[in-house]
Amino acid sequence: MQTAKHGDTVLIDYVVSKTDGTVVGNTEEAGPQEISIGQGQTFPQIEETLTGMEVGKQETVEIDSDKAFGPRRDELVIDIPRQSLPPEPEPQPGMALQAQQQDGTPVTLHVVSVGEESVKADGNHPLAGEDLTFGVTLREIKQAA
């Protein structure tokens, strides 16, 4: 039976969940994801698991938060004066804002709460501080060139 190896492009289905079982992502709607093993397109632990897998096999990969999206950092939760925001659209909790760091690097902030004078926004990745479990199923192997 053919197995996936470094350099192969593979199609996978996956379900990602937090330790409490809450599903936070999957390929159900978009269809299988294409990954080239060894190209850093996904977490190294998933690439390692895919290497040697056969089509149709399913594996579970657990990734600690520090190796996934890192720990939550309180200093990335900031208050933004309302006058610093554009007038439209009206900020709402959960809304994503685009900003620039001091070095010009773009960053996405998520609105946590909206006050009369300021908006509290979080620059942490939404899954920062979360241990993740991936259920990965190998659907197809496209041999390396």
Task: Name which of 27, 121, 26, 24 is nearest 76 in CA terms.
Answer: 121
Amino acid at 40: G
Q: What is the pLDDT of residues 36-51, one digit of tens each?
A: 999 999 999 999 999 9
Question: In angstroms, rounded to a whole number, what is the distance separating the alpha carbons of residues 125 and 101?
Answer: 15
Please give the structure tokens belonging to residue 58: 């399913």
Peptide bond into 89 cis (omega under 30): yes
Task: Decide if pLDDT at 145 tops 60.
Answer: no
Order of all β-strands in the sheet with 77-81: 77-81, 118-122, 106-114, 96-100
What is the pTM for the complete model shown? 0.79
Q: What is the mean pLDDT of residues 58-80?
A: 95
Q: What is the pLDDT of residues 77-97, one digit of tens each?
A: 999 999 888 888 889 999 998
Delineate the domains of the chain, giving CATH numbers in brackets.
9-69+127-142 (3.10.50.40), 74-122 (2.40.10.330)
Q: How far is CA 45 from the centre of its chain?
A: 14
Task: Name which of 61, 59, 79 is nearest 123 in CA terms.
Answer: 79
63-96 per-residue burial string, b: 16 or more CB within 10 A, e: under 16: bebeebbeeeeeeeeeebeeeebeeeeebeeeee
